[in-house]
Amino acid sequence: MTKPKRNILMIYADQWRPDMFGATKSFTPHLDELARQGVSFCRHYAQALPCAPSRASLYTGLYAPQHKVTNNAALFGAELKTLGHYLRNAGYVPTLFGYTDTVLAPDHPDADPDNRSKYSILPGMVEGCHQPDDNPQHWLKHLADKGYDTSSLEQVYGPDTSQPNATGGAAGEPARYAAEDSDTAFLTSRLMDWVAKQDQGWCGMLNFLRPHRPTIAPAPYNALVDPMDLRAPVRSATEAGDAATHPYMEQLIATGNAPRKVHQDLSGRIAEVDEKDWRSIRAIHMALMAEIDANVGRLFEKLKENGVWEDTLILFSSDHGEMMFDHHICQQASWHEQCARLPLVVFDPQSQAPEVAGRKVDELTESIDTIPTLLDLLELNIPETLPGRSLAGFLQGETPKVWRDAVFWQFDYGGAVDQAYLDRFDIDRSDCVMSVVRTETHKLAVFPGTPNVLVDLTKDPDEMQNLAGRPEYAAVEAALQTRLDDYHSR
């Protein structure tokens, strides 16, 4: 097989907020510069929530009803063809730095019997540095070699209480490790070391844990973001206002455990966290995004120094978003934009038209478009079994005359509700799958056994009001229900 002519670098964050919490200034100058040179897809969406289901859609190019990885514990089927397999067929050896949240059955042909994490490497990829969140053994060894206490992950991620609290809230103290020794810096350095040894035609995937919890940043990043520079959460004036939109939201707000789901130094419910602490936690989340940007900038500079920048296709995105106190909840367990909307920047010096540099695409795109796009850019056939669409035309200055008018995603919320909720609505935990369709103007979220959620995005972009069941919206609701029925029949 002929050696590929172009390098591929795929960079993924975990729990990224594209809106940057409405920050008054940018904290991501290197990714901003990538966007100025490439093409940004401004309305890009995950196909499933949370981590493992979303990544399964990204890595297979399939919707959740097709790949059936519907929660973080679901097994990744041996029959599934992955991004790694497609790239191997193109002559690449796709190499992972980070993790893919892939759970394999013990009898899966790619299962590693010596793997000490619940997560495996995505089939079709080879290990550069596997760093799953439950057992980042290579990073822990690096820390231990430098004299850090690695007796537990809680110890590793604990705050240095001898240093000032830069935000004045729950998350403002710096990490015990230095910035150059952080999980983000370590992983970036491992990829950089690897790239320096590669011939032309390499393919690397850099998957960061951050800005996902633990919400702690090393100095100087813990002091980088002024909490007052970020917008306050988008939500009703009272938690009762958000709870009234749907029984499921009522449940999330009532049971949202702040120390377990957000930060260990909090107490009570997420909806009860005071302004000092939610501002602190949002500031550190943003700081962790800035730390990724700084390390990505370090990587980009090395690519340029080594003369391979113009030969490297670069893609930056995330697996999902994060509510971060919007609507009085955290994590990514609802129908709101903050959960499913993703960043996507694609830069391909070898194929993109010069005039598209800095282009911002407003068409609706999905993470399942990634595999078709890469295959198209590599001038390979796109299997008809893949429901996604190539975005390559946008990189060549085109706008398709016919494009999708809706995006879809789903979330298995069986683990987010208690037995009283199931009894109240006479449903089984296995029934708890929220399905969402979002068009240019409306969004419908369907919950088996409980009412729908319908939002008019033209009048209510912050999604404060549920219009489901209103006679004047009956036709819209029925039409969107039909779209979801078609989605589940794939």
Active-site amino acid positions: 51
Judge contact between 254 and 239, C-beta under 8 A.
Answer: no
Q: What is the CA radius of gyration of the chain?
A: 22
Q: How far apart are CA 446 and CA 246, in angstroms?
A: 11
| Beta-bridge partner residues of 44 | 342, 365
Judge contact between 290 and 225, C-beta under 8 A.
Answer: yes
Q: How far apart are CA 67 and CA 386, in angstroms?
A: 11
Q: How many CB atoms lie within 10 A of CB 40?
A: 23
Judge contact between 38 and 31, C-beta under 8 A.
Answer: no
| Beta-bridge partner residues of 40 | 345, 360
Judge contact between 265 and 259, C-beta under 8 A.
Answer: yes
Q: Is the dihedral of CA 237, 240, 244, 249 positive or negative?
A: positive
Q: How far apart are CA 191 and CA 86, in angstroms?
A: 21
Q: Which pair of structure tokens corresponds to residue 465?
A: 């009001």
Read off φ and ψ for residue 363, nearest 5 degrees. -65, 150
Q: Is the dihedral of CA 66, 68, 70, 73 positive or negative?
A: negative
Q: How far apart are CA 431 and CA 86, in angstroms?
A: 34
